[in-house]
A and B are shown apart, each in its own frame.
Chain A
């Protein structure tokens, strides 16, 4: 279908973008890559009065890697992350996740800020943000604020962003050398929305026992969440077949997956168990 009518603006400063959003009191929407927003408009699930294009806003398109981690500007596209060789060491989990995002053509336009603001329950980036305790920098009429990923995501397709705020960047804490990690996702066809996915990592103490474990799930709950029960099973243990089985059972028991046309809750729960086990064994054998 064709999108409903709207006005279009392409401001050159962030302040002007904020002013436009504020003047329209919730009627305006930001557009970046448009890879989620344009399908929504084509389905007429939304009818904004104004689209504010971010493409001319300065300073939002860099990937910065430093002592405090990896900072992804809001306009960084998936293809920019794929092309950045530094991230293979600086954040291999992010790199692995991005390979699962939609298709080639979508990865050439979809952006970090757009994915965060859209907050699809199956979004790989949100899974990474939650698992890695990312911080999201937001700019609005009152200036800048920074929120944790778990504060940022409020519900399915719902964030703490006010109508006149925009995402500036997302920071992932630095990634130590030697960290074990794995990313597992299940979709019926390559590029489809995940029916369930797992992003996890752990560090190891001197005796090879896991510590600082993080297990994040996406696509199988109302929004991506961490699974502290599974993490608790891992911490202090050597990750072997028995531990992986116990942790993945804990993961499956913790999630409350939705029943929808793509999969039943029971199926998703079984998937979470299988994917967590697979991910843990892969991470352990790195």
Chain B
């Protein structure tokens, strides 16, 4: 079946089997290997992408269900070639990754959260990140990185009193 959606601002039209997940479609059909597939049943969060502004697990979404939507993957996070977005800079600075397998999922989850809720408190960030599993870092460095990057998302808005 054909499915048509937008990935990182670029329209794509691709033929998939109905059972193909969005994660597999991104990686295999569209060559966007930044999205990592971990558990394939919605537990680990590694495959998190943003669909119509919401962070979702791309292994729990069929590519045909994404028809007509706007998808952002980790490849869409950087402002330009050779550059890094604020979360990516902070992850590097705080050593918030070791093997890097889970990193795209953490980045997309944190990006969706901070875009939606730039003034999310520490408890909220921890709660949201609990949907992503990391087996190397122990999460403290990831929390530090997200808290550090948070300022970059607060520029446009005033703090909620």
Residues of A within 8 A of B (CB): 1-8, 10, 31, 34-35, 38-39, 41-43, 51, 53, 55, 79, 102-106, 108-109, 189-191
Contact = CB atoms under 8 A, between A and B. Distances in A.
Among A2, A5, A8, A104, the one with the most B-chain Cβ atoms within 10 Å of its Cβ is: A104
B56 interface: yes
A105 B56 contact: yes
B1 A38 contact: no
Contacts of A8: 1, 18, 62, 64
B152 interface: no
29 contacts: A1-B40, A1-B41, A2-B19, A2-B40, A3-B19, A5-B19, A6-B18, A8-B18, A34-B62, A34-B65, A35-B42, A39-B41, A42-B40, A42-B41, A42-B59, A103-B45, A104-B55, A104-B109, A104-B113, A104-B130, A105-B57, A105-B109, A106-B42, A106-B57, A106-B60, A106-B131, A109-B60, A189-B130, A190-B127
B52 to A, nearest CB: 9
B103 interface: no
Nearest to A79: B54
B21 interface: yes
Given A6-B18, A41-B19, A42-B40, A109 B128 contact: no
Among A7, A8, A190, the one with the most B-chain Cβ atoms within 10 Å of its Cβ is: A8
Which secondary structure characterizes the binding site on chain A?
loop
Interface string B9-25: 00000000111010010
A1 B3 CA distance: 22
Interface residues of B, number: 28
B60 A35 contact: yes
B131 A105 contact: yes
B61 interface: yes
Contacts of B128: 103-104
A41 B59 CA distance: 11
B73 interface: no
Among A1, A4, A53, A108, the one with the most B-chain Cβ atoms within 10 Å of its Cβ is: A108
Closest 3 CB pairs of A and B: A103-B131, A8-B18, A108-B54
B131 A53 contact: no
A68 B17 CA distance: 45
Contacts of A31: 62, 65
B48 interface: yes
A3 B60 CA distance: 11
A43 B41 contact: yes
Given A5-B17, A104-B55, A53 B65 contact: yes
B59 A38 contact: yes
Contacts of A2: 19, 24, 40
Interface in B41-93: 41-42, 45, 48, 54-57, 59-62, 64-65, 67
A39 B128 CA distance: 21
Contacts of A41: 19
Contact of B18 (A7, A39, A103): A7
